[in-house]
Structure 1
Amino acid sequence: MIDKDFDLTRRSFIDHVLKASAGAGMAAAAPWAAFAASAAPGQKDRVRLGVIGTGDRGRTLIRNIAKTRNCAVAAICDDYEPNLVKGRALVPGGTPAFADHRAMLDAGGIDAVVIATPLHVHAAQTLDSFDAGVHVWCEKAMARTIADCSAMVKRAQDRRKVLQIGHQRMFNPTYLNALKRVKAGEIGPVTQIRASWHRNTSWRRAVPAGSDLERKINWRLYRDSSAGLMTELATHQLQVGNWFLEAPPTRVIGSGSICFWKDGREVYDQVALVFDYAGGRKLVYTSLLNNARYGCEEQIQGSKGTIEPELGRIYQEKPPGVPALRKMGEDVQAGRKRPVPIGGATWFPELPVTTPGESLGWGEYDETMLQFEVFGEAVRSGVPAPGLLRQAYHASVTSLMGEDAMDSGRPVDWPSSLVDI
């Protein structure tokens, strides 16, 4: 693809962001969308990024950064040599490579860092970066503890640096369009969101024979480095829930277990939680690692309809009726057979609605690339994109509340002492 073609693709993408986020209500709910659309990145003076962590996710981010018009990878860092070798293959020859993030910071030559490392080191690497005078883009979840999440926010404020967390759904035109239609009242008042992320995988990675790298490579499976499903998956969808319900939860109850993968892991392989929101609204969340049938989804439910943004569909609660004779003709033409009721039971099961619904619109986008263009503009100006950090902070706190509720077996209330954003 030539630059002109890419620019047209990018322009089309931003046009869709603008279209999805137009309106006063949307400006309040997604203020970063207008910031993203108004950014005009140029070819020169790209923001120089040092990528800390060149594992699978870090290498994906390097590829995304390469698509931007205002950012470039100026250094890479990983303390696991096999990952660093793979990272070198994605950047120009001569790009400095480090085994320690502090050495990279001391070397200079970067404006900001991108952190794609295991969760438990996010906070330390973020604080070190702010103290070195650079801005930070960090993968979600933010940190292993609520205290560390708060420390990251506070240090960003104290040092007057940009802290942006990688919640890409906030840049996704389908989600922005879904939010716009919720704001317009199309599905009525939202009273419940059901969300799930189901996979069929052990999450376990092979460890070199005879090495002591088990906890380093399989960090997601151990409590000192991860909250498992809550921080590695749930935080994405809890951000969506808080966003569409326009507030964080007031409390949560939940249950988790190691039910299937009894392999020495410490984190739950299935979780089920209910988050309470003001006005009696609920977010019901489940995640498991031994059945992928329902995958990743959110069902945003109102009195007039349902939106499923992962599927890009909106459904009316009472779709327009189809006359019986016309319906019979359509069935005959399509070769569908169904019983014709003449007499029988007075009760029928209330089965799921199977109407096809309506598309939420455009579905070709690269929201992760746009995140970095917005981050680049924020770094250049020294002004964070409005609203992003608050959403991310509250999403991470929400996920860690869920872990606490499952561990303690009791309801956990929203913390009263958080950093004000």
Structure 2
Amino acid sequence: MTNINRRQFIKNTGLLSGGVLLATSPWLAAFAEQKETIGERARIGVIGPGSRGQHLMSFLVQNPKVEIVALCDTFQLSIDEALKMAPKAKVYADYKKLLEDKNIDAVVITTPLHIHYQMVLDAFDAGKHVFCEKSIAYSMEETHTIYQQYKSSNKVFFVGQQRLFDPKYIRAMELVHTGEIGEIGGIRNFWHRNNDWRREIPANASDKQINWRLYSDCSKGIMTELACHQLQIGTWAMREIPNKVMGHGAITFWKEKREVYDNASCIYMFENGVKMNFDSVLSNKFYGLEEQILGSKGTIEPEKYKYYYEEISPAPAFLQLINDTENALFGSLPFAGTSWVPETANTNEGHYLMDTKSVGDGTSLMLEAFAESVITNKQPPLIAEEGYYATQLSLLGHEAMVKEQMLLFPDQFKIDYLNHKSV
């Protein structure tokens, strides 16, 4: 989905109109002047071209409006691999030297979480546009400072929340915001895996350099690496942020050389009483990942490309007879009591969000939008705010697990978001 045509994008997603598209995903306004930017280029430096950085580069190098002009890493193997994709890029060992390069318009920061903060601040100070991988920073204070620096910089700021540009999620949010699935009663998120998150250590590298996600002074583990994606779905759907959270985390299975939880659960509560759950177990992958948006008229499961109405067509007569028979049988059993009537659900196959599943996960569109924004020097609405709150909610959930307390979202870290409460 490189070099996307906006009209074709609207057609592919099945959205009602451009107006609905921009109401659901206003950041797609980044593509509004796409024709006018033909022939122009965003000159980008990549700081930290490891596995994630190289993944992003694989999309950037396909875009004729992007030139990767610089690379920076302290790990030579990463530089060697990145140069295969951008052989003309200048190489730096010190990111501050890269930031001094006047030939660079923007930077893509894909370094470990705990060093995002200073790099992002320094990049804004150097007058660069910034794309920073999620999560934005290691602490709520750092995240807020970065946002304030962005607001005063007059530069573009993107965060790696690719679901914002994922067509199936955009289509799902159309169903939410037009009331197609009714009033939201709850949001359930889960992301389960069965591995210890440990990577093989190459020669001349340390365990911490490669497996930084497992160390508590570098990462917040599950919450900043996984939950940040799914919690952002809640703010997008509800158009507000939850005001409190409680949770529990533990190391229950993967206990060797690990400082961050391998088992985590949080409950986030919105002001109207709606709750959003996040759950992750790293020792069982059966259910995988999904976000389930539960409305009074229907349910959406974006990762399955499906949505389901509460009311479905009646079952065939034979199945309905079985259903009625079971109700009569179990309803007469004394252990159940008179208040319990079993419900044998009809098979609900649901409906597909889109006609095709070959739409990617939004990463390509996200990076194209970043390039367009760099060229035009125009920040798309709300994309920085969505990334900001995704990080803050992840960090607050982690703090609630560590403290074993219910925590309120601190007023000092609230920002303006769709005209909801802010300071």
TM normalised by structure 2 equals 0.89
CA distance in 1, matches of 2:99, 2:249: 40
1:38 positional shift: 5.0
Q: Which amino acid aligns with 1:292?
A: K
Q: In the alignment, does 2:123 pair up with 1:129?
A: yes
Q: In the alignment, does 2:70 pair up with 1:75?
A: yes
Secondary structure of 1:140 counterpart: coil
- Residues 340-393 of structure 1: CA distance to partner in whole angstroms, max 9, x if unpaired? 759632267557764110000143224222212211222222221111011110
Residue in 2 aligned with 1:232? 225
Residue in 2 aligned with 1:412? 407
CA distance in 1, matches of 2:126, 2:230: 33
Q: In the alignment, does 2:168 pair up with 1:174?
A: yes
1:203 positional shift: 0.5
Residue in 1 aligned with 2:397? 402
CA distance in 2, matches of 1:16, 1:115: 33
Q: In the alignment, does 2:271 pair up with 1:278?
A: yes
Q: In the alignment, does 2:192 pair up with 1:198?
A: yes
Secondary structure of 1:420 counterpart: coil
Relative to 1, partners in 2 of residues 1:132 and 1:35: Cα closer, same or farther, differing over 3 Å? Answer: closer
Residue in 1 aligned with 2:247? 254
Q: In the alignment, does 2:356 pair up with 1:359?
A: no
Q: In the alignment, does 2:344 pair up with 1:344?
A: no
8 Å Cα contact 1:191/1:302 also seen in 2:
yes
8 Å Cα contact 2:13/2:354 also seen in 1:
no
1:325 positional shift: 4.7
300-309 or 339-348, larger mean C-alpha shift: 339-348
Task: Name the Cα RMSD after superposition.
Answer: 2.6
165-174 or 376-385, larger mean C-alpha shift: 376-385
Q: Which amino acid aligns with 1:103?
A: K
Relative to 1, partners in 2 of residues 1:322 and 1:247: Cα closer, same or farther, differing over 3 Å? Answer: same
Residue in 2 aligned with 1:332? none
CA distance in 1, matches of 2:343, 2:402: 36
8 Å Cα contact 1:20/1:173 also seen in 2:
no
1:60 positional shift: 0.5
1:68 positional shift: 2.2
Secondary structure of 1:406 counterpart: helix
- Residues 75-124 of structure 1: CA distance to partner in whole angstroms, max 9, x if unpaired? 11111111111111111x33211222112122331100001110111111
Structure 1: which 5+ runs fail to align? 329-336
Relative to 1, partners in 2 of residues 1:319 and 1:373: Cα closer, same or farther, differing over 3 Å? Answer: same
Q: In the alignment, does 2:374 pair up with 1:379?
A: yes
Q: In the alignment, does 2:342 pair up with 1:315?
A: no
8 Å Cα contact 2:195/2:283 also seen in 1:
yes
Secondary structure of 1:215 counterpart: helix
1:43 positional shift: 4.5
Relative to 1, partners in 2 of residues 1:24 and 1:12: Cα closer, same or farther, differing over 3 Å? Answer: closer
Relative to 1, partners in 2 of residues 1:375 and 1:23: Cα closer, same or farther, differing over 3 Å? Answer: closer
Relative to 1, partners in 2 of residues 1:196 and 1:18: Cα closer, same or farther, differing over 3 Å? Answer: closer
Aligned pairs (5 A) from 1:8-407: 10=5, 14-16=9-11, 19-20=14-15, 22=17, 27-36=22-31, 38-40=33-35, 42-91=37-86, 93-208=87-202, 213-325=206-318, 344-346=329-331, 354-362=347-355, 363-366=357-360, 367-407=362-402
8 Å Cα contact 2:13/2:171 also seen in 1:
no
CA distance in 1, matches of 2:383, 2:145: 17
CA distance in 1, matches of 2:73, 2:327: 71
Q: Which amino acid aligns with 1:74?
A: V
8 Å Cα contact 2:299/2:308 also seen in 1:
yes
- Residues 261-286 of structure 1: CA distance to partner in whole angstroms, max 9, x if unpaired? 01121110010111001210000110
Secondary structure of 2:80 counterpart: helix
Relative to 1, partners in 2 of residues 1:370 and 1:130: Cα closer, same or farther, differing over 3 Å? Answer: same
Q: Which amino acid aligns with 2:404?
A: G
8 Å Cα contact 1:13/1:365 also seen in 2:
no
Identity %: 37
TM normalised by structure 1 equals 0.89
